[in-house]
Structure 1
Amino acid sequence: MRILSVAISLFVLVACGGSGDQPTPSLPKPEEPSTGYPDKPNIIVIFTDDQGYADLGIQGVRQDLKTPNIDKLATSGTRFTYGYVTSPQCTPSRAALMSGQYQQKFGVDENRFAPMPLNVETIASRFQKLGYRTGMVGKWHLEVMGNSKEWLKQNHPDFYASNQSIEKLPLDYKRPFFPDERGFDDVFWGYERRYWTNFELNGNDKLPGYQINNQYRLDLTNQAATTFIERNAQSPFFLYFSPYGPHVPLEATDFYLSRIPENMPTRRRYALAMMAAIDDGVGEIVGTLEKHGLMKNTIIFFISDNGAPLGDDMTDAPLDQRGEAWNGSRNDPLIGEKGMLTDGGIRVPYLVQWQGQFPAGKVVDKPVSSLDAVYTALELAGEDSLAELDGVSLLPALEGKTDYLDERALYWRFWMQRAVRKGKWKYLQAGIKREYLFDMESDEGENLNLIQQYPDIAEELRQQLLYWSDEMQRADPMTEIPAPFGARYDHYLPQPQ
């Protein structure tokens, strides 16, 4: 099984790119939002990294973790049990969130197609135009990176030919893709100990530039997020807070590890410690909002960027192993993992809270997308140019009217896979020969392939998917998936009955 996992790791680390002559079916127009919401609420989007569906206490799946602060967002807000992101990988998922559009429209289908093009307007820029102060803290991953080979070849062919490390690329070439050049006023972004910042943790301004900070990465970005709120408490603000966890490398301080029992796999224990740190950060954010009397004027979304990588069998590998090793998070009871278009790769924790405005303790069991969070946030901020966004308003659903969520389709395309969900039905094709149709509202879900029983439904969804795909910037290669990845699909999914 480990041989299978190692072989498959090659495609994820490199990591999708139709046919049809009819136009893409138009999405149903959502109902107009209700009036009476306060103007220009603050918006906070918390976007975690590789956090699986199971790993919030409020999900009621696992008993080995505690996330009281995040759970409270759900008990005093709304939880979406079918919350989806647009990709099972971080860069494309984040590109969609930051643009409000399917990332395939501008070619960021996979990590290797970074950076996000400069002609794509970010939601941060939109919020700026609406009079918001904007902040970005944590993981960005939309900049020029080590795997940006295509971009380098097209834009800096001499550097590409030299085969040098991306660290040697002049900063002037990379700088336009940093978040403080993409609509964010305040930034504190980075990964491990090296951060690009334009404010200090004490709240003072500083010249934009790199700084080295050896503080535990999750504590550091928690502090930066609360500092942003302190700096901007007197004006409407949008904060994109993206903790770098529980993504590998798995690391945690004794302060967090001491909360987690030792009688479990080491990787699981470290992941739970990292999620405890993220949960503490959510508590600190809420505490800062309460300090300034902002809770009733602040919308908080909590979403993960994709499902957890499991390495097929959740082997408890050494902590320094990266690649496609299990990160300690879990997707139960969903099928599959990061990199796949099964629900384990794209269905994630998804919560929203607005005290006094959105219902408390509500659960919505209809498919929603991270794109809908973007649409709804901008709608409430007063944006009137929403037509080019690919989401729909969540306001009718929060008010109990959910039929429109079944009437529109959600689409995916990633690394020789493609999928569509409309209502209860999900059609999935991996490569060419592996096709599946699932009833996602049945007890069996993705454990039962119904494509032979309902071929007409499968074909209708397939055609809709191909029409959508044909409008994207990159062509779908429509080729068979490599044998190791096919083995992964056969490991997780049933053959037609």
Structure 2
Amino acid sequence: MRYRTIFSLILAMVMMGTSRGEEPVQPPNIILMMADDLGWGDLKSFRPESPIHTPHLDEMAASGITFDRFYAAAPVCSPTRGSCLTGRHPFRYGIYFANTGQLKTEELTLAELLQKQGYKTGHFGKWHLGTLTTTEKDANRGGPKSTEVYSPPWENGFDTCFSTESKVPTWDPMRKPKTGPTKIGWDSLGADEEDAPYGTYYWNERGEKVTDNLDGDDSRVLMDRAVPFVKQAAGEKKPFFAVIWFHTPHLPVVAGPKYAKMYSQYDLHERNYYGCVTAMDDQIGRLRKTLADAGVTDNTMLWFCSDNGPEGNAKSPGSAGDFRGRKRSLYEGGVRVPGILQWPSQVKPGRVTSFPAVTSDYLPTILDTLSVQYAGARPLDGISLLPVLQGTQSERTEPIGFQSRNQVAWTTNRYKLFSGNGGKTLELYDLLNDPSEQNDLSSSHPEIVARLWDEFRQWQSSCQESDQGSDY
């Protein structure tokens, strides 16, 4: 506790200025980057044998701290996204799965809380926490037939938006081939090739459909909006909060000619998957250069993770490493994802931690950094990671709970309780000694199973009470 107090005091002194006449330094800028369906094993900084070139993410990892036990709050996208902004498990507010529910007005988002602290806020990329229009057909659910799930980012605390409801192709995001299969992806279309509208659109903070600068790499398209936002805020010396949620490498994967050529020895699916990830990495490099040119790198918390494990099966190009399961599974491969933080003023480079962290930890960590109290008495599921960043905490004392359809899991610092059938049968794994979940210990440690199941059921009941509106 003493070291944490010292850390907080130093941070406060940096933010306020340490002597009379010294210009106060603004609070840290915050950027939450997230890939879509990127596997734990897709980055060389986590699995060196990965075939994908990601030099900028590798450099970011070397410049900050790498979490090798970083968890998405869910094995699919929408619930995880909710956890990033609320610090709460998505079952507390009805986002049980992808394309289910919407971010409720009563929920407190990071964007709303940071607006009150004087931050400029921006959302760029995939939203997937509600629809963005009630007037025309858009994406999966948008339009007049689903007005009850309308909940765009600009009504949840974001000043500037360049957002889609859901997925788009990772190259030429408004286009798809006029004929032929389109689920997995395709080689990029030429300018004169016949096409059809993909059907998912970008919208701005005024609720207007964006129609310009939408050709080419989708990661570049959205970074073309994020970079000016960062430059303007930095130029005005305003703290900023940017959420940059890439569509890459969610299906359909399409890589531009330059990027596909880098992986020409691979089949269509692989070269487009690998190529679009490298294209995304280039844009992350562009963002990092923007921060450096603006002189705000040191005072910016730059986070990166994925929203869940990789799509498909073991033959698909995305890699979960040696972990069991993939997207939609609560085994490790479905929820353990790459996690990186670069924050030069507070985090020494080259650190690696095995501390279990989860996307729900963003909100309490950021509020703790700013010495801001969370409003209200509603339960949070995340914890502050500041003690981990300062090196004074190495074990997680608050378990991480997971729910997804009939699957449930309860992960402690060492053990994981798992059920694929709503608790009818239970499996127990020692993640410190068996991270691949190959050896079920439930029969040899029934006392641990009973204790963890009781803890999980209490937490599940709390989520159910929240979902019924008791927090509001």
Coarse TM-score class (shorter-chain normalised): 0.7 to 0.9
Q: Which moved more, 1:265-274 or 1:65-74?
A: 265-274
Residue in 2 that maps onto 1:99: 86
The reply to whether residue 186 of structure 1 matches residue 178 of structure 2 is no
Q: Match for residue 352 of structure 1?
A: 341
Query: Which aligned pairs between 1:171-210 and structure 2 lie closer than 5 A?
Result: 173=147, 177-190=151-164, 191=168, 192-193=173-174, 194-198=201-205, 208-210=207-209
- Tell me how far 1:399 sits from its aligned partner: 2.1
Q: Partner of 1:268 in structure 2?
A: 270
Aligned equivalent of 1:285: 287
Q: CA deviation at 1:31?
A: 5.9
1:138-149 alignment runs, 5 A limit:
138-144=125-131
After TM superposition, give the deviation of residue 370 of structure 1 in Å.
1.2
SS at match of 1:379: helix
User: Any conservation in 1 of the 2:249–2:276 contact (CA below 8 Å)?
Assistant: yes
| Deviations 1:188-211 (CA, angstroms, capped at 9, x unpaired) | 11243321024xxxxxxxx54002
Task: Point out the more displaced range, 420-429 or 56-65.
Answer: 56-65
Q: 1:245 — aligned with what?
A: 248
Identity of aligned residues (%): 28
Other-structure match for 1:396: 387
With the length of structure 1 as denominator, give the TM-score of the two structures: 0.77
Contiguous gaps of at least 5 residues in structure 2: 16-26, 135-139, 175-200, 468-472
Q: Residues 31 and 465 of structure 1: is their aligned pair in 2 closer, same or farther, counting only changes over 3 Å? A: farther
1:56 to partner: Cα distance: 1.1
d(CA) in 1 for partners of 2:149, 2:328: 29
* Among candidates 371, 384, 392, match of residue 360 of structure 2: 371
- In structure 1, the partner of 2:413 is 423
| Partner AA of 2:350 in structure 1 | G
1:286 partner SS: helix
Look up the equivalent residue of 1:256 and give its one-letter code: Y
Which has the higher relative contact order, 1 or 2, with Cα contacts under 8 A spaced 6 or more apart? 1
Provide the rounded CA distance (Å) in 1 between the counterparts of 2:328 and 2:254: 23
1:436 maps to 427
Structure 2 length as normaliser, TM-score? 0.81
Compared with structure 1, are the counterparts of its residues 467 and 287 closer, same or farther at alpha carbon in structure 2 (3 Å cutoff)? same
CA gap 1:475/1:428 in 2 versus in 1, 3 angstroms: farther
Deviations 1:406-444 (A, max 9, x none): x21110011101000112100101104442111101146
What CA deviation, in whole Å up to 9, does each residue of 1:328-381 have, x standing for no partner? 311111110111100001100001111132121111112111122222122223
**Counterpart for residue 60 of structure 2:** 73
* Equivalent residues of 1:34, 1:395 under 8 A apart: no
Q: Counterparts of 1:195 and 1:174 in 2: how far apart (Å)?
A: 20
3-state DSSP class of the match of 1:273?
helix
What is the alpha-carbon distance in structure 1 between the residues aligned to residue 311 and residue 358 of structure 2?
20
Taking structure 1 as reference, are residues 296 and 107 closer, same or farther at Cα in structure 2, changes over 3 Å only?
same
Tell me if the contact between 1:114 and 1:144 (Cα under 8 Å) persists in the aligned partners.
no
Distance, in Å, in 1 between the alignment partners of 2:411 and 2:143 is: 43
Instruction: Tell me how far 1:216 sits from its aligned partner.
Output: 2.9
Between the aligned partners of 2:117 and 2:8, the Cα distance in structure 1 is 20
Runs of at least 5 residues in structure 1 that lack an aligned partner in the other structure: 1-27, 147-151, 153-164, 199-206, 315-325, 477-497
Residue aligned with 2:270, SS: helix
Match of 2:95 in 1: 108
Q: The residue matched to 2:230 in structure 1 has which SS?
A: helix
Cα distance, 1:393 vs structure 2: 1.6
- Change in CA separation of 1:424 and 1:274 when aligned onto 2, cut-off 3 Å: same
CA distance in structure 1 between the partners assigned to 2:48 and 2:62 by the alignment: 16
Count of paired positions: 408
Residue 446, structure 1, aligned to residue 437, structure 2: yes
Match of 2:36 in 1: 49
Farther-moved stretch of structure 1 (213-222 vs 69-78): 213-222
Alignment match, 2:450: 459
Contact 1:130 1:382 in 2 (8 A): no
Look up the SS of the partner of 1:138 in the other structure.
strand
- 2:415 maps to a residue whose letter is W
The alpha-carbon deviation at position 475 of structure 1 amounts to 11
CA shift digits 1:29-69 (9 cap, x unpaired)? x9656321243100000011000000111113433112111
- Distance 1:102-1:31 versus aligned 2 partners, 3 A rule: farther
Deviates more, 1:272-281 or 1:369-378: 369-378
Deviation at 1:448, TM superposition (A): 1.1
CA distance, structure 2, for counterparts of residue 293 and residue 464 of structure 1: 47
Amino acid at match of 2:239: P
The DSSP-based 3-state class of the residue aligned with 1:96 is helix
More helix by share: 1
Q: Deviations over 1:224-267 (max 9, x none)?
A: 2212112221210000000101000111101211222x233432
